[in-house]
A and B are shown apart, each in its own frame.
Chain A
């Protein structure tokens, strides 16, 4: 079964500093990886995805993520944090093989709360 781990429940970073939100995954084959962000009382917003190719993926709002196959990691990064980046961040993985009737299920991590301090 596929799984995702986000080892930090909370990450605090000063505004203007670089930020990293960690994610590791476990799948039976090659993964499709996603990052989503959730603001209070809102649904999840898609940030970026890794399918294949370049290990560094660029996404929305200046975020990027680095895929590392040997370490089975997909850490989210941003060079300079903004207060408005404060939110809950979810990493998700989708296996390339179907889990049922041709469907491909997304498995989410528990989420990491990012607080950017002014």
Chain B
């Protein structure tokens, strides 16, 4: 089975711009979660989607948004980029949305640099 794929792998944007990141989960996985990883804050949960519905959201401003499509692929969008948004954005998929303790499988991440 193919793993979680994320595109693009690297991205450089300017402050004030917006960006869209894409994630394709493992085939059959319906839950997709997004995390932000920075050296200072570590891994922080952004949001989780299951069956096209946002089930949970972390403590991030409204500039961070996401969606999930009927094929379980997910996108996250960051508007009005700030320098502090520079991070590795990780997508993870799992079989179901948490009722059973299925582990999450992570993609390689998208490295976003905001200048």
Which B residue sits closest to A35, measured CB to CB?
B103
CB <8 Å contact, B101 and A99: no
A101-B33 contact given A42-B108, A94-B98, CB 8 Å threshold: no
Which residues in A have their C-beta under 8 angstroms from that of B45?
A: 105-107
Mask: chain A, 80-118; 1 = CB below 8 Å from B; 0 = not: 000000000010001000111111111111110000000
CB <8 Å contact, B42 and A105: no
Q: Count CB-based A-B contacts (< 8 Å).
A: 64
Complex Cα–Cα for A45 and B101 (A)? 16
A115 to nearest B CB, angstroms?
17
Which A residue sits closest to B10, measured CB to CB?
A41
- Which among B12-20, B49-57, B62-70, B71-79 touches the partner chain? B49-57
CB <8 Å contact, A102 and B99: yes
Complex Cα–Cα for A22 and B48 (A)? 28
Which residues in B have their C-beta under 8 angstroms from that of A46?
A: 103-106
- The main secondary structure of chain B at its interface with chain A is strand
CB <8 Å contact, A103 and B48: yes
CB <8 Å contact, A49 and B103: yes
CB <8 Å contact, B107 and A102: no
Q: Which of B85-109 contact A (CB under 8 A)?
A: 90, 92, 97-99, 101, 103-109
Interface check A14, CB cutoff 8 A = no
Mask: chain A, 11-52; 1 = CB below 8 Å from B; 0 = not: 000000000000000000000101010000111111001010
CB <8 Å contact, B98 and A98: yes
Which residues in A have their C-beta under 8 angstroms from that of B107?
A: 43
Cβ contacts A to B, 8 pairs, < 8 Å? A36-B106, A44-B92, A49-B103, A103-B55, A103-B56, A104-B97, A106-B45, A111-B42
Q: A43-B6, A102-B55, A105-B48 are in contact. List 13 more A-B contacts (CB 8 A).
A: A32-B101, A41-B108, A43-B107, A46-B104, A49-B101, A98-B98, A102-B99, A103-B98, A104-B98, A106-B45, A108-B43, A110-B42, A111-B43
